[in-house]
Amino acid sequence: MTTSGSRSPSAQRAQRRSDQAKKKVILAALIAVMMAGGVLWISRSSDSPTLAEPAEPAPTFSPRATDEIVPIPNSDADLLLVNGEQAPVISLADLGNLSTVTIDLAVPVRLEGQDTFETRIMTEGRPMLTLEGRVLGDERNRLRIEAPAEWLIPGTYLFEFRTQELAALPLRRFVLMVEANQPKLNEPSSKDARPPS
């Protein structure tokens, strides 16, 4: 027979778990109060912010303020994409009967560290295409890739490659838009069609 003062082992374990849970809640509340006090102390101890004068707008050539601008030489490629510039729009008719399209990806910095960079081309509804790009020229600011022309269908394409730059995200990205071949509105669709009167 057990006395009313003694507890069963399962009741004792339940009481210990309950006590441990209470201690954890109290510890978490204490840490939260200390962190809030630290934030208040830091915010009060810092100098009052002063309004900065507006800076001159950064050049549109590159989205990174740390880039040293390297002039982009003329390209003999079929297509030149420049990092930081507006996406060019081309038509499939612009590609003609090419089996491969030579594309130069130009950046405003020297591509140091290696002579080839893996370049990824992505678009909606198609698997990612990975090509090897070669660094060109003495300035080392262009990467040349050879893309299969049949892979380029109407849509928006994102080209990207990882550089050796010391940056949080050393990726250079380029956008290209490809439109379908559209017949001109003022041309009749067949030889027999008569112009409207």
**What would the pLDDT profile of 80-93 be if each residue is shown by its tens digit?**
888 888 889 998 88
Check if the beta carbon of residue 140 is closer than 8 Å to that of residue 112.
yes
Based on the fold, state whether residues 43 and 87 are members of the same structural domain: no
Indicate if the pLDDT at residue 65 is higher than 80: no
What is the band of 158 on the pLDDT scale with cuts at 50, 70, 90? very high
Whole-number pLDDT of residue 187: 43
Whole-number pLDDT of residue 51: 54
The mean predicted confidence, pLDDT, of the chain is 78
Indicate if the pLDDT at residue 55 is higher than 80: no
Whole-number pLDDT of residue 135: 93
Tell me, yes or no, whether 133 lies in a domain.
yes
CATH number, domain at 127? Answer: 2.60.40
Which residue is it, tokens 């004792």?
12
Based on the fold, state whether residues 43 and 101 are members of the same structural domain: no
Tell me, yes or no, whether 108 lies in a domain.
yes
Q: Name residues whose C-beta falls within 8 Å of residue 71's C-beta, 6 or more positions apart in sequence.
A: 139
Based on the fold, state whether residues 86 and 172 are members of the same structural domain: yes
Question: For the whole prediction, is pTM greater than 0.75?
Answer: no
Based on the fold, state whether residues 90 and 175 are members of the same structural domain: yes
Length of the chain: 197
Based on the fold, state whether residues 85 and 41 are members of the same structural domain: no
Tell me, yes or no, whether 64 lies in a domain.
no
Based on the fold, state whether residues 27 and 84 are members of the same structural domain: no
Based on the fold, state whether residues 83 and 168 are members of the same structural domain: yes
Based on the fold, state whether residues 99 and 165 are members of the same structural domain: yes
Tell me, yes or no, whether 186 lies in a domain.
no
Looking at the chain, the whole-number percentage of residues with pLDDT higher than 70 is: 73
What is the band of 157 on the pLDDT scale with cuts at 50, 70, 90? very high
Whole-number pLDDT of residue 197: 45
Number of domains making up the chain: 2
Tell me, yes or no, whether 17 lies in a domain.
yes
Tell me, yes or no, whether 57 lies in a domain.
no
Digit-coded pLDDT (tens) for 106-122: 888 888 889 999 999 99
Q: Phi, psi at residue 189, to the nearest 5°?
A: -80, -20
Tell me, yes or no, whether 196 lies in a domain.
no
Indicate if the pLDDT at residue 140 is higher than 80: yes
Whole-number pLDDT of residue 186: 42
Based on the fold, state whether residues 102 and 163 are members of the same structural domain: yes
Residue type at position 68 = E
Tell me, yes or no, whether 60 lies in a domain.
no
Q: Domain span at residue 87?
A: 79-179
